[in-house]
Structure 1
Amino acid sequence: MALTATQQLQINHRSVRRFLDKPMEPGQLEALIRCGQSAATSSFIQAYSVIRVTSPEARRAIAVAAGGQVWIEKATEFLVFCADLRRINQVCEAVGKGGLEGYSEHGLAAVIDVALMGQNVILAAESQGLGGVFIGGIRNQPEVVVEQLELPHRVVPLFGMCLGWPDANTEVKPRMPVECILHQDRYQEMDPHSVAEYDETMSKYYASRGSNVKLTDWSNATAQAMQGKKREHMLDFLRSRGFFVC
Structure 2
Amino acid sequence: MQSMDDTIKMQLNHRTIREFTDKAISDEIISRLVQVAERTATSNGLQACSIIRISDQAIKNELADICKQEYVARMPELWIFIVDQYRNGQIAKEKNCHEESIGDMDRFFQGFTDACLMAQNVVTAAESIGLGTVYLGSILNDPSRTVKLLKLPKLTFPALGLGFGYPNQNPKLKPRMDMKLRMFENSYKCFDNYSDLIKEYDQIMKTYYDLRDTNNRVDSFSNQLITKLKNINPIRQKIINVIAEQGFDLMISDK
Q: What TM-score, normalized to structure 2?
A: 0.88
Q: Which residue does the alignment assign to 2:123?
A: 122
Q: How big is the shift at 1:75?
A: 1.3
Q: Which residue does the alignment assign to 2:93?
A: 93
2:244 counterpart of 1:243? no
SS of equivalent to 1:97:
coil
Residues 47, 113 of structure 1: 8 Å contact kept: yes
Select between 213-222 and 133-142 the one with higher mean Cα deviation: 213-222
Residues 52, 80 of structure 1: 8 Å contact kept: yes
What is the CA deviation profile of residues 134-172 of structure 1, one whole-angstrom value per residue up to 9, with x for unaligned ones? 111111112222222211111111211111100011221
What is the CA deviation profile of residues 212-242 of structure 1, one whole-angstrom value per residue up to 9, with x for unaligned ones? 6344111222333344355122010001002
* 2: CA distance, partners of 1:130 / 1:197: 32
SS of equivalent to 2:135:
strand
Q: Which residue does the alignment assign to 1:133?
A: 134
* 2: CA distance, partners of 1:197 / 1:90: 54
Give the length in aligned residue pairs: 245
Residues 53, 79 of structure 1: 8 Å contact kept: yes
* 1: CA distance, partners of 2:212 / 2:49: 36
Select between 156-165 and 225-234 the one with higher mean Cα deviation: 225-234
Which runs of 5 or more residues in structure 1 are unaligned?
Answer: none
Letter in 2 for 1:74: R
SS of equivalent to 2:59:
helix
Q: How does 1:62-73 map to 2 (within 5 A)?
A: 62-67=63-68, 69-73=69-73
* 1: CA distance, partners of 2:107 / 2:204: 40
Moved over 6 A (4+): 207-210
Q: How does 1:215-234 map to 2 (within 5 A)?
A: 215-229=218-232, 231-234=236-239
* 2: CA distance, partners of 1:117 / 1:229: 29
* 2: CA distance, partners of 1:124 / 1:25: 15
2:78 counterpart of 1:78? yes
Q: Which residue does the alignment assign to 2:198?
A: 195
* 2: CA distance, partners of 1:22 / 1:52: 18
Q: Which residue does the alignment assign to 2:112?
A: 111
Q: How does 1:22-41 map to 2 (within 5 A)?
A: 22-41=23-42
Residues 90, 99 of structure 1: 8 Å contact kept: no
SS of equivalent to 2:208:
helix
Of all paired residues, the percent bearing the same amino acid is: 29
Distance 1:132 1:242, change over 3 A: same
SS of equivalent to 2:180:
helix
Letter in 2 for 1:43: N
Indicate the RMSD between aligned Cα atoms, in angstroms: 2.2
Distance 1:111 1:207, change over 3 A: closer
2:12 counterpart of 1:7? no
* 2: CA distance, partners of 1:149 / 1:75: 17
Letter in 2 for 1:53: I
Which runs of 5 or more residues in structure 2 are unaligned?
Answer: none
Residues 78, 161 of structure 1: 8 Å contact kept: yes
Q: How big is the shift at 1:210?
A: 8.0
Distance 1:58 1:6, change over 3 A: same
Q: What TM-score, normalized to structure 1?
A: 0.91
Letter in 1 for 2:105: S
